[in-house]
Structure 1
Amino acid sequence: MGFEPPQRLVRALGEMYGDGTAADWLDRLPALTERAVGAAGPDLAVERVAAPGGRSALVLLVRRADGTPAALKIAPPPAEPERERAALAHWNGWGAVKPLEPDAELSGSGALLLERLHHEVSLRSLPEAKALLEAAGTLRRLWVEPPAGHPFETVAERTGRQAGAMRAAAEADPALAPLVEAALAARTELVAASPELLLLHGNFRQSKVLAGERAPWLTVGPEPLVGERAYDLARLVRDRAEDLVASPGGGATARRRVKKLAESLEVDQARLHGWTLFRAVESGTRALTEGRRQMGEVNLEFAGWL
């Protein structure tokens, strides 16, 4: 099955997993794709690769034997596609893209067969105020009780792993230490008394919400975990940070956004502030470590405003 993965995906995998791991998975991708297409059902027709696509997986636009358009997503093991499958199955289309295949057919393959959305139209195509309103409404739908015996890690577990990398970044560059220390102190206080354990998207932002047929807007690409709503909402607070950094009054706008989103979704403002700080510093230090200096500096400047 001949195709070229989008260069955006190739670059992103190299940044996230290292050139060796990325190259190995990309070398195996044609075989993985052929196997996934066969497992997804008889007479599945591949139309084309979705481009520019995302940063974590290959998405093929396909059509099922009955003519139904669909999307076949193939992700490397570090992306934990089985946890994504479990979350999407639990939401079952409520606020999120709906899985189409029985779990047994593609389970363990790193592939998911999903309803097809309009991948070229995300909330980022809307004016900022409208986009934030639609995003908040979509995110609210995802906050449900997790399934019994779920496979998801907790916010405390995920952020605990991230804290080690943040400390290492501060040791390598002492200029980062004040922000890292503030972020880690906020995390310590927040995880000491988490108010709820709900199923969270984990990486929710405007570009993860696509136009659909079944509903106007549906989210994709969860990195699911369980914890409090404020953690999930914190990533949305930072959306379009590069625009804020480039505009006068960006700091005041960022702080107003924390207040407005906390009020609109009935989330404790202080907890949202703390998780926004932690997630901005974590993203910034990780980007610097991966060589994405511009993105790292944007996130750290945003964190400094808080």
Structure 2
Amino acid sequence: MVFEPPERLVRALGEQPDTAQHEDWLARLPGLAEEALARRGVQAQRVQAPGGRSSLVILVRFPDGTPAALKLAPPGARPDRELAALAHWGGFGAVRLLDTRHEDGALLLERLQPEVSLRSLPEAKALLEASGTIRRLWVAPPAGHGFESVAERTERQSAGLKAAPAELLALAGTALELRDELAAAAPEELLLHGNFRQGKVLAGERAPWLTVGPEPLVGERAYDLARLVRDRLEDQVASSAGPAGARRRVNRLADSLDVDRDRLRGWTLFRAVESGLRALAAGRRRDSELLLEFAAWL
């Protein structure tokens, strides 16, 4: 089988720094996939399509016919941290690891239903299920963990906001001020998913919904919930509710999970501005406009 990387993955890696490193990984990916399959004694069925923006996922089977999925991500994505987080959750609220014997950057996971995510549900039902799922992930991190903190990640991301175009400096400045205030007074240190949204919650067999694709870090729940606030962004921007609707969404999610409303609003604004400026730098102008308009509503 030829393990061609999905176009979405190639395009996404091309937007990131260290392009040469990513090109080298993409060139070696077919061989890496073959080696990872052989080490685990599983047989490839097909590459998951259209695939994601951060990894290659191959649907596989064990010799006894048990289905599974093999995920390969570039070293910069820190698959070692994803493995550590999934191992710590132990399948509670998240996809289950099936093999932890190898340190080659590949993850052997239980097979979920990649074509059925929470985005297939009506919005109200999707948010209810998302809230129940993310709640299960918020646990104390393992002793001696190597995860970065919310403060560390957002400090690194702040460089992009400081380089914002002149017409966006005021919005970027507001986001940076909020980030500094929030990071200086973090109320808790829990293990977080880091990139939680409806599309990261897939249908399973042993549980109705399980999360995948964490970018784990430690910090407060409000940061982890912030990405979910702007889910289905085009629908939110197209609705007549506008800023009032965005604020109601913040308050509804905060109240449903006992999270401080102001802290959730602040992290939502920061993350939307950071994502919007990153999209702008990558040439994804439409995405950028939606994210920055949403941020301005908050």
Equivalent residue in structure 2 for 1:139, among 134, 142, 146: 134
1:166-245 to structure 2, matched below 5 A, reads: 166-168=161-163, 170=164, 173-245=165-237
The residue type equivalent to 1:159 in the other structure is: T
Cα separation, 1, equivalents of 2:162 and 2:105: 32
Contact 2:94 2:212 (8 Å CA) reproduced: yes
Q: Secondary structure at the match of 2:4?
A: coil
Q: Corresponding residue for 2:62?
A: 64
Q: Corresponding residue for 1:95?
A: 93
Unaligned runs of 5+ in 1: none
Q: Corresponding residue for 2:32?
A: 32
Compute the RMSD of aligned alpha carbons.
1.1
Q: Corresponding residue for 2:155?
A: 160
Q: Secondary structure at the match of 1:90?
A: helix
Q: Secondary structure at the match of 2:97?
A: coil
Q: Percent of pairs identical after alignment?
A: 69
The alpha-carbon deviation at position 294 of structure 1 amounts to 1.1
Q: Secondary structure at the match of 1:51?
A: coil
The answer to whether structure 1 residue 286 and structure 2 residue 284 are counterparts is: no
The residue type equivalent to 1:128 in the other structure is: E
The alpha-carbon deviation at position 66 of structure 1 amounts to 2.2
Q: Corresponding residue for 1:5?
A: 5
Q: Deviations over 1:151-203 (max 9, x none)?
A: 100000000000112112x2xx1011011100010011111111000000000
Q: Corresponding residue for 1:75?
A: 73
Q: Secondary structure at the match of 1:295?
A: helix
Unaligned runs of 5+ in 2: none
The alpha-carbon deviation at position 291 of structure 1 amounts to 1.5
The residue type equivalent to 1:135 in the other structure is: A
The alpha-carbon deviation at position 19 of structure 1 amounts to 4.7
Q: Corresponding residue for 2:84?
A: 86
The alpha-carbon deviation at position 18 of structure 1 amounts to 6.0
The residue type equivalent to 1:251 in the other structure is: P
Q: Corresponding residue for 1:51?
A: 49
Contact 2:3 2:29 (8 Å CA) reproduced: no
The residue type equivalent to 2:156 in the other structure is: R
Point out the more displaced range, 198-207 or 12-21.
12-21
Q: Deviations over 1:81-134 (max 9, x none)?
A: 000000000000000000000x22x22x11000000000110001111111110
Contact 1:96 1:218 (8 Å CA) reproduced: yes
The alpha-carbon deviation at position 23 of structure 1 amounts to 2.5
The residue type equivalent to 2:198 in the other structure is: Q
The alpha-carbon deviation at position 67 of structure 1 amounts to 1.5
Cα separation, 1, equivalents of 2:18 and 2:190: 32
Q: TM-score, normalised by structure 1?
A: 0.95
Q: Corresponding residue for 2:15?
A: 15
Q: Corresponding residue for 1:299?
A: 291
Residues 241 and 5 (structure 1 numbering): CA distance in 2 closer, same or farther, change over 3 Å? same
Q: TM-score, normalised by structure 2?
A: 0.97
The residue type equivalent to 2:144 in the other structure is: G
Contact 1:244 1:251 (8 Å CA) reproduced: no
